[in-house]
Amino acid sequence: MSAAPFDVAPVQERVRTLVPTLRLVAGAADYAAVKSLADFPAPCAYVVLAAEQYTNAPAGHGRPGEQVPVSQDGAVTFGIVVAVRNYREQRGAQVSQELIAVLGAIRGAVVGYVPPGAGTRPCQLSRGRLADYDAGTALWEDVYTTSQSIGVLA
């Protein structure tokens, strides 16, 4: 068992493999580097860890300065930010169709997927929203939940 944060890399790889229409599937650092909607290499997706919430577990007893074994179960939230673009039409209808197709493929790859790791559960879609839209580029955010167990063996 590990005390490391949830690793989104297997989710990234799954989306990259199962949704070949995406030009890029990347992580938080690449997403943070994008400065404007025009800079997204659409269609593309960014998988980012959003939050972890762990329950406190009985830790046992130890002497001061000693580390004791601990295991905790937690809820994990991660997001997939998707950018799509249609240069031919600025009103949104064609962008909407492209977004529906890309989101359907990504959701089909992620919902029900059990990531590797201790205590993980099938991923579930929690919510989605249009984050931004400008001149034929739409930015959509889907939020997923799963779980994981962390711990130290001391």
pTM over 0.85, yes/no: yes
**DSSP secondary structure code for residue 37 in this structure:** G
3 belongs to a structural domain: no
Model confidence over 5-61: pLDDT tens digits?
Answer: 999 999 999 999 999 999 999 999 999 999 999 999 999 999 999 999 999 877 678
Specify the 3-state DSSP secondary structure of 64. coil
63 belongs to a structural domain: no
96 belongs to a structural domain: yes
64 belongs to a structural domain: no
CATH number at 97 reads 3.30.2000.10
* Residue given tokens 């919510």 in the structure block: 127
104 belongs to a structural domain: yes
87 belongs to a structural domain: yes
Model confidence over 107-120: pLDDT tens digits?
Answer: 999 999 999 999 99
Over the Cα atoms of the chain, what is R_g? 19
The predicted structure's pLDDT at residue 145: 99
- Cα distance between residue 99 and residue 107, in whole Å: 12
Domain that holds residue 83: 9-54+71-152
59 belongs to a structural domain: no
Mean pLDDT of the region 67-72: 89
The burial of 87, by beta-carbon neighbours within 10 Å (0-12 exposed, 13-18 middle, 19 or more buried), is given as exposed
- Cα distance between residue 114 and residue 131, in whole Å: 27
**DSSP secondary structure code for residue 65 in this structure:** T
21 belongs to a structural domain: yes
State how many domains the chain has: 1
